């Protein structure tokens, strides 16, 4: 079963999605011509394929979740990255990195390509303070800058110089790679503070509610991977999954460090 990491870069900024989407569809189609020919019937004339399209839906968590690796950035960083690319009409580079569980990389159907953000939608949901769900649509970008042809005198060879050269492409890749270190160093200074805007009943289970817990906690809400257990610990609710999940409550300790997912039955109201 392969694993993925999705990177997006523009200018000197490189961002990796904090959580991989459940699906990574990449669509390429062609508007081939269909005709009726006497004596043959229907035939199809091949035409140039359309631009590739990538559609991604996922979550931008406001706080680090259990099992989340790498740098954690606030959702505002990603939202500004994609919306500003649309406003400034700037192409971004989409790069999926694929590897197996043993760390061995492999090549998929696409190595990534420059693209334009054609649609970016974010959604906040009740009870999940600070988290943003998003839908992102990307369309392949092809540089249509004019090309320069130089023809010298009779009997001499002509030269043809494309507007986008391999040197420019390599330089862009090097700049994107070097920006990773800058993003890494700057990420540690980013903090996001959220303050509830309205009060809720103390007996109602909501995000940011304080509870006392006794029981086991897991890496995921399905309870597949146990991480440890606690007894009488004061925690804060960070996320609440659907009732279909056996361990639907994500909890954090007094220092704000996320422990994992616990069963709702293991939570009790905290005194005071």
Full DSSP string of 71-129: ----HHHHHHHHHHHHHTT--EEEEEEEE-TTS-B---S---EEEEEEEEEEE--TT-T
Range(s) of the chain covered by CATH 2.30.30: 210-269
Confidence of residue 127 (pLDDT cuts 50, 70, 90): confident
Q: What is the pLDDT of residues 142-188, one digit of tens each?
A: 877 665 655 555 554 544 444 444 445 445 445 445 444 444 444 43
For the CA atoms of the chain, what is the radius of gyration?
Answer: 25
CA angle 75, 81, 82 (to 5 degrees): 95
Q: What is the model's pLDDT at position 191?
A: 39
Specify the pairing of strand 210-218 against strand 132-140. Answer: unpaired
Residues near 162 by beta carbon (within 8 Å), at least 6 away in sequence: 147
Residues near 257 by beta carbon (within 8 Å), at least 6 away in sequence: none
| Residues present in the chain in total | 272
pLDDT at 194 over 80: no
Percent with pLDDT over 70 in the chain:
74
CATH of domain 210-269: 2.30.30
State how far the Cα of 29 lies from the Cα of 53, in Å rounded to an integer: 9
């Amino acid at each position: 079963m392969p694993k993925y990491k999705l990177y997006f870069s523009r200018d000197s900024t490189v961002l990796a999605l904090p959580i991989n989407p459940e699906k990574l569809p990449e669509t390429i189609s062609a508007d081939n011509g269909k005709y009726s020919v006497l004596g043959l019937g229907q035939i199809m004339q091949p035409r140039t394929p359309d631009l590739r399209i990538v559609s991604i839906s996922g979550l931008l968590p406001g706080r680090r979740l259990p099992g989340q690796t790498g740098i954690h950035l606030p959702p505002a960083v990603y939202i500004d990255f994609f919306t500003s690319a649309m406003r400034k009409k700037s192409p971004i580079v989409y790069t999926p990195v694929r590897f197996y569980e043993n760390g061995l990389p492999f090549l998929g159907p696409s190595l990534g390509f420059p693209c334009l953000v054609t649609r970016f939608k974010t959604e906040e949901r009740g009870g999940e303070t600070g988290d943003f769900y998003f839908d992102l649509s990307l369309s392949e970008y092809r540089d249509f800058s004019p090309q320069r042809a130089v023809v010298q005198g009779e009997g001499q060879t002509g030269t043809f110089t494309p507007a986008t050269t391999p040197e420019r492409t390599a330089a862009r890749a090097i700049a994107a790679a070097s920006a990773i270190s800058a993003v890494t160093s700057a990420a540690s200074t980013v903090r996001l503070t959220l303050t509830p805007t309205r009060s809720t009943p103390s007996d109602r289970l909501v995000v940011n509610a304080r509870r006392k817990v006794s029981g086991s906690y897991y890496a995921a809400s399905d309870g597949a991977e146990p991480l440890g257990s606690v007894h009488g610990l004061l925690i804060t609710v960070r996320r609440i999954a659907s009732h279909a999940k056996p361990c639907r409550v994500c909890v954090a300790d007094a220092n704000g460090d996320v422990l994992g997912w616990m069963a709702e039955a293991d939570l009790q109201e905290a005194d005071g």
